[in-house]
Structure 1
Amino acid sequence: MRKKDDVLEIGVLNLMHDKEDTKRRFERVLTREDCRVNLTWFYPVMHYQDREVPENVRQMSQPLDLNKVKELDAFIVTGAPLEKLDFDDVTYISELQELFDCLSTEGIEQLYVCWGAMVAANYFYGVDKYLLNQKLFGVYPQVILENSPLLEGLSDGFLAPHARYAELSCSQVREVPELSVVSVSETNHLFLAEARKERQTFLFSHLEYGRDALDKEYYRELQAHPEDAPVLAKAANYYDDPAKMTGMRFGWGKAQRHFFENWLKQAEENRFKKVCTQ
């Protein structure tokens, strides 16, 4: 067993637009009374190759350094507002791929979220991404297809938030022998996939979101693209009064709590196994 003074060292590559909120959300969901967790925040260097790194980014994170990554127990790659871009058009794609190789080679516990899950599954297993006819945006019941320790404590119908413009081909994921489709939404969109042998978890839901995150996302997109107001997706199954967009429901609180507790436990167990083999 781990000693009480041991610390689980987790790296996070923060690719989200709302970086401060993202940091607060992951700090909250990765807090456990029985496990000390230390988060180290990174940003992709190549993303800022032609411009100065913003002050808020420099204050909350450090440049991605694979030598530091190798010393970590687990690593998270967040989502990013890049679903509409081809992977090869992302300015820091080669830096991401070097990170993926490092994590895989070192046997580090990996959690890829939303776009992070798409780009990682594409790199490791060649699964294609495609644009949805309209944004998947709202809170939906999920269907459990395979047993997984990550869903311990949850049953069919648990709620989770989705917010994305693209999807991986679920049929392709099913055809990859190394991957398991663990859960999908009742709308038949991916929720969770896992590598059968590698330390890789692909979470397509923004399960780290807090109560107000979907609401904030809508108004952020509205402010950025007011011309899209007539067709901009409003979060489904989220408001007490959908017409007025009031009364935000935090229906995924239970799923959030169980999933991240289970993932931390899994990361802890992997760390213990690595220590025992050294």
Structure 2
Amino acid sequence: MPPVGTGLSRRTLGSEALLVLALSLGASAVSALISFVGSVTKPGGLKHQAAHLNASHAPGRPWLDLAWQLFGIATALVPVFLVAHLLLREGSGLRAIGFDRRRPGFDLGRGVALAAVIGGTGLLFYLGVRAAGFNLTVVPESLPPVWWKFPVLIASAVQNAVLEEVVVVGYLLRRLGQLGWSPAAALGASAVLRGSYHLYQGIGGLLGNMAMGVVFVLLYRRWGRVGPLVAAHALIDTVAFIGYALLAGKVGWLPTA
């Protein structure tokens, strides 16, 4: 019997989930593992190496650089549109996972509160594990000082949030539930996946994001919506990207490459 509401066999749904992950964050997890192996086998400690995010793709050519930045953000969201299509095939769409405009106040309010807790805790954890030598120095942005710098950083933060929460929480948990996975096993799979594609940052990136993944799954099950998670994640990344751009080299506690 096919899972209720899908009309598709479990084998088809399992293959579908694997393909979605292979086109998105599953591939990122493999890439992060290869990057991590390269970092730990390189002479010198992890904290003396850097993981660069939001870097320039065409130094000295701002309009070409902007085109590459926008292209990267847009193509990274293709898996989200694929998930929307697959869920719409069931007759529900993204509304089934709570990514819609029905409760904007709820989503934003819960998201702001969650971002404040997770963001502050995450920063302290990062500083601690880096000082202990278990993490690379994360450089959230190294874009040139051009007019589009901050809009692109915000767009990048929103893209990260939408992609990760829709795929790793909403879609994956729905599919694993339909495939008969227990709630605990599905939670573990989602958290491990979230941690694994941050492994390029080091052990701290793996463990910190796994812990965040557990919290996000539990809250998703409580609220029935990924909207607050997207809002929280977007705020966390926005503060990290823009905060680094404004503070790097100006405060002693913030590590720089």
Task: Tell me the TM-score normalized by structure 1.
Answer: 0.24
In proportion to residue count, which structure has more helix?
2
Give the number of the structure with larger relative contact order, counting CA–CA contacts within 8 Å between residues 6 or more apart. Answer: 2
In proportion to residue count, which structure has more strand?
1
